Chains A and B, each alone.
Chain A
Amino acid sequence: KAGVTQTPRYLIKTRGQQVTLSCSPISGHRSVSWYQQTPGQGLQFLFEYFSETQRNKGNFPGRFSGRQFSNSRSEMNVSTLELGDSALYLCASSLTVTHYEQYFGPGTRLTVT
């Protein structure tokens, strides 16, 4: 069974731009969560989607948003990029919202200059 896939793997953007990241969950998994990983803050929860609905949101500004499609694929968007948004963005999928084992994709490395 194929794992979680994320595209693109690497991105370089400039301050003020916006970016969209994509995630395809493991086949059959319907819950998708997004995390930000930085050396200083570690792994932090952004949001979770299930059945095209955001169920949960972490403590991030409104510039961070996401959505989920009917095939469970998910995208996250960051608007008005700041230097501090440079990070590894990780997507994780689980079977449903009551199956808490989450499996991570390879991540998207975002660099903001």
Chain B
Amino acid sequence: QKEVEQNSGPLSVPEGAIASLNCTYSDRGSQSFFWYRQYSGKSPELIMFIYSNGDKEDGRFTAQLNKASQYVSLLIRDSQPSDSATYLCAVISFRGGGGADGLTFGKGTHLIIQP
């Protein structure tokens, strides 16, 4: 059973600070990693994806991947109140016969940015 674990929060961060969101996954065959942002009552929005070990930066967002530790994180710099949302970590694993499984999601971390 493939599992993706996230702290449900809420994680409260003051405006302008760095928000750090973490995710661990159980399947060592997982190859691709995604962060989605979901506002209440809305659908998930893809904000970052990372396929290789290390850091990937896009604007205020940095995704970090450590496959040896089966750990992926998302850093949000200069946090804004509009960043308040639930952040979902998702992974894709590859099957032995080729091809990929569907996304396996964590339950999400509820982030609150305090003005």
* A to B contact number (C-beta, < 8 Å): 54
CA distance A42 to B87 in the complex (A): 12
CA distance A103 to B36 in the complex (A): 10
Check B102 against A104 for contact (C-beta < 8 Å). no
- The segment from A13-21, A67-75, A78-86, A94-102 that touches chain B is A94-102
User: Would you call B99 an interface residue if the criterion is a C-beta within 8 Å of the partner chain's C-beta atoms?
Assistant: yes
User: Would you call B25 an interface residue if the criterion is a C-beta within 8 Å of the partner chain's C-beta atoms?
Assistant: no
Contact of B102 among A48, A88, A103, A106 (CB under 8 A): A48
Check A101 against B34 for contact (C-beta < 8 Å). yes
Contact of A42 among B46, B101, B108 (CB under 8 A): B108
CA distance A90 to B106 in the complex (A): 16
Give the total of A residues in contact with B, Cβ under 8 Å.
24
Size category of the B interface is: 20 to 34
- The segment from B16-24, B37-45, B63-71, B76-84 that touches chain A is B37-45
- Tell me whether chain A's interface is mostly helix, strand or loop, or mixed: strand
Check A42 against B106 for contact (C-beta < 8 Å). yes
Check B44 against A56 for contact (C-beta < 8 Å). no
User: Would you call B104 an interface residue if the criterion is a C-beta within 8 Å of the partner chain's C-beta atoms?
Assistant: yes
Contact of A56 among B49, B101, B105, B106 (CB under 8 A): B101
CA distance A106 to B41 in the complex (A): 9
Given contacts A90-B43, A101-B49, A102-B46, contact A45 B103 (CB under 8 A): yes
Across the two chains, which residue of chain A brings its CB closest to B92?
A100
Task: Tell me, rounded to whole Å, the shortest Cβ–Cβ distance linking A104 to chain B.
Answer: 4
Scan A21-47; emit 1 where CB is below 8 A from any B CB, else 0.
000000000000101000000111111
Contacts of B105 in A (CB 8 A): 42-44
19 A/B residue pairs, CB under 8 Å, sorted by A: A33-B102, A35-B103, A43-B44, A43-B88, A43-B90, A45-B103, A45-B104, A47-B102, A90-B44, A92-B103, A100-B34, A100-B92, A101-B34, A101-B49, A102-B46, A102-B103, A104-B44, A104-B46, A106-B43
Q: Which residues of A contact B (CB under 8 A)?
A: 33, 35, 42-48, 55-56, 58, 88, 90, 92, 97, 100-107
